[in-house]
Structure 1
Amino acid sequence: MIDTHSHIYLSKFDEDRDEVNARAVEAGVKAIMMPAIDFDSISQMEKLSHPELQFYKMAGIHPCDVPEVLPEELEQKLLDFCGQDDFYGVGETGLDYYWSTERVEQQKQSFRLHCEVAKEVQKPVIIHNRESTEDVLDIVEEEQDGSLKGIWHCFNGSVDEGKRAIDLGLYLGIGGVATFKNAGVDKTVAQLPLDKMMLETDAPYLSPTPKRGKRNEPAFMKFTAQKLAELFDLSLEEIDQRTTKIASQLFGLEL
């Protein structure tokens, strides 16, 4: 399995990262994609290694970390990082109207810059969306010139929103929310094409049932995979193979 969205580099794992990684391997995780929160994230990512796990870096500014005034060099800095061979995606970026609507225009400007960079370096953009679905999809539609590809991270939209995202060239990141009993995401996911989905954790956040409320970690992705297996009436092995193939193709991995 590939965890396509994990902040395993954060300090919340500093005390037991070796054990966390060992549990990931035991659960069948082979690779961990690491979206950035800000540029400081990158130095934290570069410290990680494990003989049985592959760690893949990305660069970007989380919408909640977008400054009041975007630095002039932001696009060039993104290009400098994301253009390197050992960076595999652009983000995470996107919009978040849950925590604050004070910097909506700055978030939109930053999101557009990330999309432009993603097109230029031909790597997927990782999209955070919280209470901002219409604006997110509108911007993707405006930016889509046939070359933009990406992931709607932590997909929790409606069937129509999911179909629109797919039509716009996005894949759907399926994480712990799909296992929540009353969220309704599972019913939506079941009506969308599996070949446009990939697994993720968003560790240390959004732990799946039955680990909800605890710190999330890559090993817990198996619970989300099991949920997909139930929804699509497939074996866990089939879910693993299909989602791994999709993620490998999108990120250009050779596993």
Structure 2
Amino acid sequence: MIDTHAHIYLPHFKDDLTETLDRAAEAGLTDILMPAIDFDSLPQMDRLSHARIRLHKMMGVHPCEINNSRCNLEASLLAACAANDIVAVGETGLDYYWSTEFVEEQKISLRRHCKVAKTLQKPIVLHNREATADLLDLIEEQQDGRLTGVWHCFTGTIEEGRRAIDLGLYLGIGGVATFKNGGLDKILPELPSERFILETDSPYLAPAPYRGKRNEPAYTALVATRLAALLDRSEADIIRITTENARRLFPRIIR
């Protein structure tokens, strides 16, 4: 399995990172992709390693951090993302949950991330919270055949999922799929599994039965189990499909 979205470099794991990654390996994970929050994320990622898990870096500026970073400096983002060990541009996107005060600044930032992703031919990783219509409209605006990526932590409707897929995006399936009130039980069976990838968003959004506690990459297995049940497929089949999808979207992780 591949956890395509985990912030394991954050302080939440400072006391037991090795044990956390050991549990991930024992659960069947081979790779973990680490999305950046801002430019300071990279040196934190660089300090991490594990004997059995391949760790991969992304670079981007989270929409909630755009006023605290250099995300307006396109040259800095381009230079950072051009490094060979950066597998994707992200996470970026739109977040209207905490504030709608900086909507235009978030859109400007997202457009710059899209430009960098297309220039470097690397996938983009999209955060979306209460901004679905604007996010998909902006991706449609930017899509010229060169943009690939993932709607991280997909929680949309069937129609929104289909539109995202038509725009070239994969859908990141995580802990919300296990929530009784998450709503994805009716939605995911109506969307193509060939566009699903697994994620945890660790340390956030832990799946049931750990909801409300710290999330960790080993819980990717719980998401796979739930997705298999929702799609009436074997767990082995879901793991194979989502792993193939992740490798297709993030080709640099198999180099």
TM-score, normalised via structure 1 length: 0.97
Work out the CA distance in 2 between the residues paired with 1:71 and 1:2. 28
Match of 2:172 in 1: 173
Taking only aligned residues, the RMSD between alpha carbons, in angstroms, comes to: 1.2
Q: State the Cα distance separating 1:195 from its structure 2 match.
A: 0.2
Match of 2:127 in 1: 128
Instruction: Assess if the C-alpha contact under 8 Å between 2:39 and 2:70 holds in 1.
Output: no
Instruction: Give unpaired runs (5+ residues) of structure 1.
Output: none
1:194-239 residue CA offsets vs partner (Å, 9 max, x unmatched): 0001000000000001110110000011111001111111111111
- Structure 1 residue 155 corresponds to structure 2 residue 154: yes
Work out the CA distance in 2 between the residues paired with 1:71 and 1:200. 25
Work out the CA distance in 1 between the residues paired with 2:254 and 2:55. 13
Match of 2:184 in 1: 185
- What letter is aligned with 2:7? H
Q: State the Cα distance separating 1:186 from its structure 2 match.
A: 2.2
Match of 1:220 in 2: 219
Match of 2:33 in 1: 33
Instruction: Assess if the C-alpha contact under 8 Å between 2:204 and 2:214 holds in 1.
Output: yes
Aligned pairs (5 A) from 1:72-221: 72=72, 74-221=73-220
Match of 2:67 in 1: 67
Work out the CA distance in 2 between the residues paired with 1:89 and 1:69. 19
- What letter is aligned with 2:45? M
Match of 1:58 in 2: 58
User: Identity, % of aligned pairs?
Assistant: 57
1:96-149 residue CA offsets vs partner (Å, 9 max, x unmatched): 000111111100000000001000001110000000000000000000000100
Instruction: Assess if the C-alpha contact under 8 Å between 1:3 and 1:200 holds in 2.
Output: yes
Instruction: Assess if the C-alpha contact under 8 Å between 1:68 and 1:103 holds in 2.
Output: no
Structure 1 residues 81 and 182 mapped into 2: Cα distance closer, same or farther (>3 Å)? same
Q: State the Cα distance separating 1:77 from its structure 2 match.
A: 1.1
Which SS does the other structure have where 2:227 is aligned?
Answer: helix
- What letter is aligned with 1:104? V
Instruction: Assess if the C-alpha contact under 8 Å between 2:36 and 2:62 holds in 1.
Output: yes
Q: State the Cα distance separating 1:79 from its structure 2 match.
A: 0.9
Judge which range, 53-62 or 78-87, deviates more. 78-87
- What letter is aligned with 1:53? I
Instruction: Give unpaired runs (5+ residues) of structure 2.
Output: none
- What letter is aligned with 2:84? D
Structure 1 residues 118 and 181 mapped into 2: Cα distance closer, same or farther (>3 Å)? same
Match of 1:43 in 2: 43
TM-score, normalised via structure 2 length: 0.97
- What letter is aligned with 1:61? V
